[in-house]
Amino acid sequence: MALPEGTTDTGAQPERATSSDRRGGVRYRRAAFMGVPALIAASTLVVLTAQGALAAQFAISGMPFVVSADSLEGTGFGQFGALDNMPEGSPNAGDTGGQVLTIVTAIREAKLTNLCQSVELGGTYLHITAGDKGTPVKASGLTTDSTDITGKLADFDNIEIGGDASTFDKPPVKGPLGSFGQQADTVKLRDLRQTNYATTAVRFTLPDLHMNFSSEGC
């Protein structure tokens, strides 16, 4: 076939992607695409935990557990009310409608000595202890959802009572708009005892951890 005037035949042919190149590219793009949801989920989990919103995202079992400690010291303290929810049809709902009104305690950085946690499981207790040999338990971004809190002594620095929990800046989380709450720079509690339905933390370090089944709770 004659070439158009002004052109020459160099004999070069355009490069064509081989089937292996195409398959490699498709596999790479597919792997990258499939990794996006996992990355987003992991990032969202970190953000929710850091904001203390994770407790509101998971459904509670509806089984209360007891937490006690000889002492708790924390910075960035806040408290406000919240409503925790069980999965639909939970056998633990009873006459609650699957909802439990709780006191959310949020502490930016906390140390606890002689920590004990127990939950009753049909006549026996799952029993956990830590921080009872001189090294305290440490928690960052700690939140507990409780129905009962007691202590022999509570000491607060620069406490504010009655503020709107959505405006708080001292604890790691804010409460719902219009909710009554309190916040303080620091908190110290002696002989702490809580009945909890949920606990979350950005980081929880438990030295000298011991977990077992026991005939007695904390």
Q: At residue 79, does pLDDT exceed 70?
A: yes
CA–CA separation, 61 and 58 (whole Å): 9
Phi, psi of 127 (to 5 degrees): -120, 130
- H or E, element range at 155: strand 153-157
- H or E, element range at 192: strand 180-200
Residues 89-111: pLDDT tens digits? 999 999 999 999 999 999 999 99
Confidence band of 7 (pLDDT split at 50, 70, 90): very low
CA 110 to chain centre: 15
* Residue-level pLDDT at 5: 45
Please give the model's pTM, rounded to 2 decimal places. 0.75
Q: Find out whether 181 and 168 touch, Cβ atoms under 8 Å.
A: yes
Residues 111-161: pLDDT tens digits? 999 999 999 999 999 999 999 999 999 999 999 999 999 999 999 999 999
Token pair listed for 162: 């009655």
* Residue-level pLDDT at 58: 81
pLDDT (average), residues 186-198: 98
pLDDT (average), residues 181-209: 97
Cα–Cα separations (whole angstroms), residue 85 to 1, 93, 202: 79, 9, 21
Give rounded-to-5 percent helix, strand, coil for the chain: 20, 45, 35
Q: At residue 181, does pLDDT exceed 80?
A: yes
pLDDT (average), residues 13-26: 47
* Residue-level pLDDT at 57: 59
**pLDDT higher for 70 or 123?**
70
Other residues' Cβ atoms within 10 Å of the Cβ of residue 210: 11
Token pair listed for 6: 């002004």
Q: Find out whether 104 and 196 touch, Cβ atoms under 8 Å.
A: no
Closest CA to 214 of 98, 121, 77, 86: 121
CA 88 to chain centre: 22
Contacts of 101 (CB under 8 A, 6+ apart): 81, 82, 83, 147
* Residue-level pLDDT at 63: 96
Token pair listed for 44: 């969202």
* Residue-level pLDDT at 198: 96
Other residues' Cβ atoms within 10 Å of the Cβ of residue 69: 26
